[in-house]
Structure 1
């Protein structure tokens, strides 16, 4: 080695530093690859992605290959750097060792570790895909040695009760998927992000959260006189109506107003005809999750259902459109709601809210966060907080919201004035 020119030794040392940088960047690049994007690219027959996928199928073998190559190169470079330092300072070996340690550590840290790994972390695909070709060849060449080293390492891991075959699954929880959608940025348009998150939220909501309550239910009462029924059919804004006798619990069926048009034009109409063209009612429990009910609507070829409680009493109705609007937002015009909205903004920044308004709808409209894990309506929420039905208008605070009851009728809060102030410091 003493006969080899210093220029050749420096050239070999530079080559070893480059190889060390290759192994360091390959390790970071391969481990930083997005597994879902990699899987998609591999299915699209991207050669680099297919090679990387093959290597990552057995991560212990890949890491063993990279670490074996990296350590061999680093040890060879350290030995060569020692020889070069001794050639440069033959009369002072202590100085040669000191200078070699400092300089070699800095060179390896900057050029073989920090810079390559940072670059690979920033652009893993640009590093990992080209490197995968070389890594496959190195893995084949070092296979006996890597197998021997991995066998010993895996045995040691088993001693501490670590199952090397039980790798972390790529499955995402609902919350993790929701975070990915939110952080997608410009890759997914805002409206599409909202729709995707709304789909994920369906499993947390039940039919009871979105149904039209019994008090607001519109239907045909067969006990009414014929003229009243005809007038209701001519002026209704709804396509499907429940038909009942006297009480909504005595449901006869669901009427599609399209089927009644021929009777209205002919002038020959009897209540018996109405019963004949009604479809059998479809009942669902109020605790049914929305994603389940969406599937049930599709399976049963239905668009409207009567919601019942545990005692079988009708609590309201739920339609397919109600569930779809939870995903895409309002896409129909509700004439009744447009004529009398539940939320009325005031000049002083407060809002007068109908007591029958749903808490979720108020939160959605005003970007508020009133509690939704209890009663569904504003009236129910206030009564739960007070723990009694007030006899006269009172004021209370719900979190950051100051609520002033304006009207009470029939043991129900009909209207409340709500003001929000985020500056208020709530007690612990």
Structure 2
């Protein structure tokens, strides 16, 4: 070593050490950036024709070869640097124990600062940009060092077999829905708030049933053909819906669905009778209670339906659900033929809100920013009766999940009006 170094001036020897430190830093930064790179973004850039992204995607798909070539090169350089620095120090200051200790310490500090910590921080900060650039150098090195990697991998594979480590156990691991949901929630810098909200709602649809989004039977507008024709015509002229369920003598049995637009085209006839409207009825589409919303959306598409009647296991009508109800769970309130209820659903200046007992808990949570439980009863009346286990009197107060509610009006078997107090955040 001394005879070789004596032939070079000191500044050339130090330049060689600096060059080796740069090589070591490059391999450290390449390793960190390759492992920290967002593979979804790299894959997207590769599909758009980015050559660096294609190289990076190919390299991260061969993790064993990638890590092998980086670790081989990095450790070889990190081994040579202390030897060169020690040789230079011994040649310049003489052969002594203190010189040997100081030169070794200086080499260790240089490697830790300039070849390990700093490059890894930089690589983790700009992973995709650095990985795509480094791939142009790492890819040829894999070809050049293939024989050495093969020999080393033979020993490594044998050692792993002895230790009974199964390297293929996690190769087919996929991201779970909850993990993907977390990725979406954390992507505040890349996805607009509205788009992120839609994606999160899409995950939530898997746990929502039609019972959660339907209009309950008590709040459904039903066209009753047992009433006089004048009442039927008046209801058609004043209704806000495009389609109405129709019942006959038995008000609990729906005999068909009437398209209001078609019915309105008959109103010019002075001799209208019930049978004229019955000819326009279409067969009702029934949905079993408990059907998942995401599955029902697919059923609507397959059956080319927009309105369905939810029935329980005994065939009793529970409510009505439309394709718009499901879409609003996904993208929020967007259109309705009813007056704008969401505009009226807001806190009063005194921090209270008067709610109807039949109000949906999901609607109240969404429009008032509450967190009332929705895994049981679907309406505010049902939640309060379940909590109190009795039909309460007026002026009874209840506190649920930091929300104070005061019962204002009770009518026979149902709580009619509740005052909700805005919770303190």
Normalising by the smaller structure, the TM-score range is over 0.9
In structure 2, distance between residues paired with 1:154 and 1:41: 34
In structure 1, distance between residues paired with 2:236 and 2:149: 81
Q: Is the contact between residue 61 and residue 147 of structure 1 (CA under 8 Å) also seen in structure 2?
A: no
Q: What do you get for the CA RMSD once the two structures are aligned?
A: 2.1
Gapped runs of 5+ residues in structure 2?
A: none
In structure 2, distance between residues paired with 1:301 and 1:216: 25
Aligned partner of 1:73 among 60, 77, 94: 77
Partner residue in 2 for 1:378 = 380
The total of aligned residue pairs comes to 421
Partner residue in 1 for 2:68 = 64
Q: Note the C-alpha offset of 1:23.
A: 0.9
**CA distance 1:168–1:415, change in 2 (3 Å):** farther
Q: Is the contact between residue 393 and residue 408 of structure 1 (CA under 8 Å) also seen in structure 2?
A: no
Aligned partner of 1:352 among 351, 354, 369: 354
Aligned partner of 1:394 among 393, 396, 408: 396
Aligned partner of 2:310 among 307, 310, 321: 307
Aligned partner of 1:15 among 8, 16, 19: 19
**CA distance 1:104–1:145, change in 2 (3 Å):** same
Partner residue in 2 for 1:105 = 108
Deviations 1:349-392 (A, max 9, x none): 22222111111111111111112222111111111111222245
Partner residue in 2 for 1:94 = 97
Match of 2:408, SS?
A: strand
Q: Note the C-alpha offset of 1:213.
A: 0.6
Range moving further from structure 2, 216-225 or 44-53: 216-225
Partner residue in 2 for 1:140 = 143
Q: Note the C-alpha offset of 1:146.
A: 0.9
Q: Note the C-alpha offset of 1:300.
A: 0.6
Match of 2:253, SS?
A: strand
Match of 2:372, SS?
A: coil
**CA distance 1:56–1:344, change in 2 (3 Å):** closer
Partner residue in 2 for 1:412 = 414
Deviations 1:327-357 (A, max 9, x none): 222222454664995x574453222221111
Partner residue in 2 for 1:52 = 56
Q: Is the contact between residue 400 and residue 420 of structure 1 (CA under 8 Å) also seen in structure 2?
A: no
In structure 2, distance between residues paired with 1:414 and 1:261: 34
In structure 2, distance between residues paired with 1:150 and 1:319: 60
Q: Note the C-alpha offset of 1:320.
A: 0.8
Partner residue in 2 for 1:252 = 255
Partner residue in 1 for 2:186 = 183
Partner residue in 1 for 2:208 = 205
Partner residue in 2 for 1:238 = 241
Range moving further from structure 2, 186-195 or 10-19: 186-195
**CA distance 1:34–1:337, change in 2 (3 Å):** closer
Gapped runs of 5+ residues in structure 1?
A: 424-428
- Matched ranges for 1:305-344 at <5 A: 305-335=308-338, 338=341, 343=345
Aligned partner of 1:219 among 194, 201, 222: 222
Aligned partner of 1:277 among 280, 286, 289: 280
- TM-score, normalised via structure 1 length: 0.92
Q: Is the contact between residue 208 and residue 287 of structure 1 (CA under 8 Å) also seen in structure 2?
A: yes
